[in-house]
């Protein structure tokens, strides 16, 4: 689905794009589609915001989200603010 959408988008561009890097979230399907479309030479960059969200969701899934948040708040002194 992602690959098809990417190929369709490129078909509207009058010249072949010369893509050197691509910024995306960490969805495997997007990275795979970009690599298949533009080749392995392209530099893939993950978005820090989305990476942080994925890490937080994983911590919550593991049941350690609240403990992690408490430790981070204590360490950064935001708990006193």
pLDDT tens figures, 30-52: 999 999 999 989 999 998 888 88
Answer whether 39's CB lies under 8 Å from 58's CB: no
Return the minimum-mean-pLDDT range out of 29-38, 56-65, 66-75: 66-75
Centre a 10 Å sphere on the Cβ of residue 11 and count the other Cβ atoms it contains: 7
Inform me whether the pLDDT recorded for 71 exceeds 80. Answer: no
Question: Higher pLDDT residue, 13 or 72?
Answer: 13
Q: What confidence tier does 76 reach under pLDDT thresholds 50, 70, 90?
A: low
DSSP for 32-69, please give it: HHHHHHH-TTSEEEE-HHHHHHHHHHHHHHTT-HHHHH
């Amino acid at each position: 689905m992602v690959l098809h959408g990417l190929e369709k988008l490129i078909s509207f561009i009058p010249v072949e794009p010369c893509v050197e890097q691509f910024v995306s979230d960490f969805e495997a399907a997007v990275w795979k589609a970009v690599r298949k479309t533009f080749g392995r030479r392209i530099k893939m960059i993950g978005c820090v915001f989305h990476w942080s969200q994925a890490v937080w969701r994983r911590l919550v899934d593991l049941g350690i989200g609240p403990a992690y948040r408490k430790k981070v708040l204590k360490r950064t002194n935001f708990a006193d603010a």
